[in-house]
């Protein structure tokens, strides 16, 4: 069993199926609406646990009716919820529209996730410090993600989704920093770094910001992985020693699947990446599994209902 702690968001997802995404000012009639468990932190925890990880979540839910809808997937996956607090007020909610091409738009109302601050992390410092891998994202307050990264003694997976202004020392702890193309563009622009049309060049620019390693996700085009050069490699499941000598960017293709709903695909990738890192895979090998998990997830509607278990057969990588 592996030890992964996710410090992150817990939401109820309100998912509307629409023929096409509305233009600004346009009203579109939805075909259906469902309420599902979600939140980036919760989603990532569910994936890692379903694949076989020993996973705990540090987070918060509200005292409203949506709290009950936010937790069933976590419980079913066996995620340790002892560090998930119930706070007065609303649970976090994501308003999601999914069109006939499987593409989505998402608006997140943080709600109780605002309570996952530095004090919340401090209350569970021993849990965070004892993890092999600590996963944080941008859907909780920056002081919370900052405290979690600084408290971690294991490897820190920093998923800047959405992009939030983390301190330079936290970015330097990221091993890896995981962002998609749009997030990378915003992160580089805010740092006054050039933004290239080449994903390989973007990965190199991201590494120049200071993280120990980088994973740039590209949707159906796969991912680019950039690790520092090593003599003999990093210890299994351990952290690297710092930026060091740059390795060569590695392009990891993704399987070709018919997308039904891309909601949660990025979280599926991150959760799988965290699990494979925790069991000792290199970052490239972990990404090769993670793209397959992400591809599996887009073939089924919803986020958590679409995530595989260790027994599911994943789509094969393209040659």
In contact, 300 and 306? CB cutoff 8 Å: yes
Q: Which residues contact 198 (CB under 8 A, 6 or more apart)?
A: none
To the query of whether residue 267 is one of the catalytic residues in this protein, the response is yes
Q: How far is CA 316 from the centre of its chain?
A: 22
Alpha-carbon distance of 141 to 170, in angstroms, equals 14
Q: Which residues contact 191 (CB under 8 A, 6 or more apart)?
A: 209
CA quadruple 82, 129, 231, 168: dihedral, nearest 10: 100
Alpha-carbon distance of 244 to 156, in angstroms, equals 17
In a 13 Å sphere around the CA of 272, the CA atoms on its Cβ side amount to 26
Catalytic one of 117, 132, 261, 267: 267
Q: Which residues are catalytic?
A: 267
């Amino acid at each position: 069993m592996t030890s992964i702690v996710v410090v992150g968001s817990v939401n109820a997802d309100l998912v509307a199926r629409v023929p096409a995404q509305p233009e600004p000012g346009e009203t579109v009639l939805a075909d259906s609406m469902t309420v599902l468990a979600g939140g980036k932190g919760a989603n990532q925890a569910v994936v890692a646990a379903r694949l076989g990880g020993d996973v705990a979540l540090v987070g918060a839910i509200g005292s409203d009716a949506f709290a009950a809808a936010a937790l069933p997937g976590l419980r079913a996956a066996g995620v340790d919820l002892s560090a998930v607090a119930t706070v007065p007020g609303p649970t976090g909610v994501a308003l999601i529209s999914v069109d006939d091409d499987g593409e989505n738009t998402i608006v997140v109302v943080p709600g109780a996730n605002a309570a996952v601050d530095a004090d919340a992390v401090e209350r569970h410092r021993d849990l965070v410090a004892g993890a092999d891998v600590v996963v944080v994202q941008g859907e909780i307050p920056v002081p919370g993600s900052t405290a979690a990264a600084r408290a971690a003694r294991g490897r820190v997976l920093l998923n800047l989704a959405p992009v939030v202004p983390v301190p330079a020392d936290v970015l330097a702890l990221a091993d890896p920093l995981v962002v998609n193309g749009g997030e990378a563009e915003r992160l580089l622009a805010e740092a006054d770094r050039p933004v290239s049309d080449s994903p390989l060049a973007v990965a190199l620019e991201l590494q120049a910001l200071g993280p120990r390693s980088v994973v740039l996700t590209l949707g159906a085009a796969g991912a680019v992985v950039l690790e520092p050069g090593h003599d003999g490699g990093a210890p299994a499941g351990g952290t690297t020693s710092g930026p060091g000598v740059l390795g060569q960017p590695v392009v990891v293709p993704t399987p070709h699947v018919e997308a039904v709903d891309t909601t949660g695909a990025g979280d599926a990738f991150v959760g799988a990446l965290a699990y494979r890192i925790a069991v000792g895979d290199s970052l490239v090998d972990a990404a090769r599994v993670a793209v397959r998990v992400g591809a599996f997830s887009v073939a089924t509607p919803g986020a958590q209902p679409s995530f595989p278990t260790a027994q599911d057969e994943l789509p094969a990588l393209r040659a």
